[in-house]
Amino acid sequence: MDWYAPHQFANGKVPCCVDWRGSDPVPENDSHGELIHAIAQVYRYGGDRAILETHWPRVEAAIKYMDTLRVSETGNADPAFKGLMPASISHEGYSAKPMHSYWDDFWALTGYDDALDIAHALGKIDAATRIAQARDRFRADLLASIALTVKTHAIDFIPGCAELGDFDATSTTIALSPAGQQDVLPQDLLRNTFARYWRDFAARSDGSRPWTDYTPYEWRTVGSFVRLGWRDRAQAAIDFFFATGVRPAAWNQWAEVVGRDPRAIRFIGDMPHAWVASDFIRSALDLFAFERQADGALVLAGGVPENWLAGAGVAIGGLRTRYGIVEYTLRQNGKSFILRLAAGAAPPGGFVFIWPRKGSPGVVRINGRQAAWQGGELHIATAPAQVVMGFGPSPENDRGARPAKNRRAIRSN
């Protein structure tokens, strides 16, 4: 961060890349939000306020540059462009012709949100007010553009760019993480997007649809599945990516492009690839804990499958989050799950545990006191906590089967 930030242009533009010649002037409009996000993350995980003071001028310059970009898109050329980041080639799928990529916009929205957090951390009230107003206008324009593009192209998913109304779930993942806009987006479009991706993925993985290659950028969808509550789909994707993509196996990494035939001579892109590596790491960590921006909660074990909880179960130690370090153990004990959450992290929205098995949850006690489930979620206010979660009715009964009438049958269930 300290090395890259000074390569920012005088007008606030953040270069897409830097080489021996200096800052690259090609317009790629994801980089401005990415730099702000990097600065915010270093502070969140390290707590060094001096870092924010040092880089605040960079943050302000990047925000002002994004302000200039979004107001330059008046919507005269196309109403769907109004208020967006201008067309760019930051998304490689649009390298032949620049497009108004929503990838850029979700990164810009991330930058606005993170700049607002930085301004609050530094006590810059006037700047925070100004940034919040710009963020709100930009988000409103972005959502309006998506709605108009959906209508124009008669689609039922979140498109990749405003011009084409194209399907690109791997790009759309950024709207969930790090942008944190899951609850803001139209829920039907959001679920349709990743349900369609899942159908395509399943057809590829089970062999019913021929395929020649894919990009392991798709690792991002694992984290999206976890956030959508699709635990089984996340595990199926993990199994596929490990089975098909790590080549050579001893390298323990993915290339930018993976071909079905490992011996075929083909383009593989960058190797190793930092985007892919970071996508894998973020999705792997999401299985155990992720930050839910809508309510400031930490969701625990949202991607951990039930079959991991037998025996010793799972144990997490020293997992850093923006709210502090998370440590917990989780295992099955007979007809109960036992979660032991250590002191450390203090998220403003508390902790959330999502019921991991088929069937309804039963009686639950937090530190010995009975608690209540809320739509399959258990809210744990603070750590430390010991949580004992009993199993509820069997899946058969949940589907409407008549409950057994004798004690033996009940015990059998």
For residue 343, pLDDT over 50 is answered with: yes
Co-location of 267 and 134 in the same domain: no
Q: Return the CA Rg of the chain.
A: 23
Closest CA relative to residue 272, chosen from 246, 296, 298: 246
Boundary (domain end) residue, out of 136, 163, 192 = 192
Asked, for residue 117, whether it belongs to a domain, the answer is yes
- How far is the CA of 207 from the CAs of 169, 191, 211, 237, 260, in angstroms? 21, 24, 8, 14, 11
Asked, for residue 179, whether it belongs to a domain, the answer is yes
Domain with 317 in it: what CATH number?
2.60.40
Closest CA relative to residue 358, chosen from 239, 232, 205: 232
| Alpha carbon of residue 371 to chain centroid | 29
Q: How high is the pLDDT of residue 394?
A: 56
Distance CA 407, CA 413 (A): 10
Reported as a single tens digit per residue, the pLDDT across 227-276 is 999 999 999 999 999 999 888 888 888 999 999 998 899 888 888 889 99
Boundary (domain end) residue, out of 287, 306, 337 = 287
Co-location of 271 and 303 in the same domain: no
Expressed as residue numbers, the domain containing 362 is 297-400
For residue 395, pLDDT over 70 is answered with: no
Distance CA 131, CA 178 (A): 18
Residue 396's pLDDT band, with cuts at 50, 70 and 90, is very low
Mean pLDDT in residue range 168-183: 97
Q: How high is the pLDDT of residue 149?
A: 98
Spell out the alpha helix ranges (H) of 217-364. Answer: 220-227, 231-245, 274-286
* Kind of pairing between the strands at 351-354 and 297-300: parallel
Number of structural domains (the chain) is 3
Co-location of 276 and 313 in the same domain: no
Q: How high is the pLDDT of residue 95?
A: 86
Co-location of 13 and 81 in the same domain: yes
Co-location of 181 and 219 in the same domain: no
DSSP 341: E
Which residues on adjacent β-strands are paired with residue 339? Answer: 330, 387
Distance CA 139, CA 144 (A): 8
Q: What residue type is assigned to position 396 of the chain?
A: E
Mean pLDDT in residue range 85-104: 92
More confident residue, 409 or 20: 20
pTM of the model: 0.92
Co-location of 138 and 44 in the same domain: yes
Co-location of 355 and 254 in the same domain: no
Boundary (domain end) residue, out of 192, 223, 247 = 192
220-227 and 231-245 helices cross at what angle (nearest 10)? 170
Co-location of 28 and 100 in the same domain: yes
Could you give the percent of the chain with pLDDT greater than 90? 85
Q: How high is the pLDDT of residue 399?
A: 39
Asked, for residue 201, whether it belongs to a domain, the answer is no
Distance CA 412, CA 49 (A): 58
Co-location of 280 and 151 in the same domain: no
Reported as a single tens digit per residue, the pLDDT across 112-170 is 999 999 999 999 999 999 999 999 999 999 999 999 999 999 999 999 999 999 999 99
Co-location of 72 and 181 in the same domain: yes
Lowest mean pLDDT among 73-87, 163-177, 267-281, 359-373: 267-281
Reported as a single tens digit per residue, the pLDDT across 204-233 is 999 999 999 999 999 999 999 999 999 999
Distance CA 371, CA 350 (A): 14
Co-location of 253 and 114 in the same domain: no
Q: Are 242 and 312 in contact (CB under 8 A)?
A: no
ω into 15 cis (within 30 of 0): no
| Token pair in block for residue 41 | 């993350």
Asked, for residue 412, whether it belongs to a domain, the answer is no
Q: Are 139 and 84 in contact (CB under 8 A)?
A: no
Co-location of 137 and 216 in the same domain: no
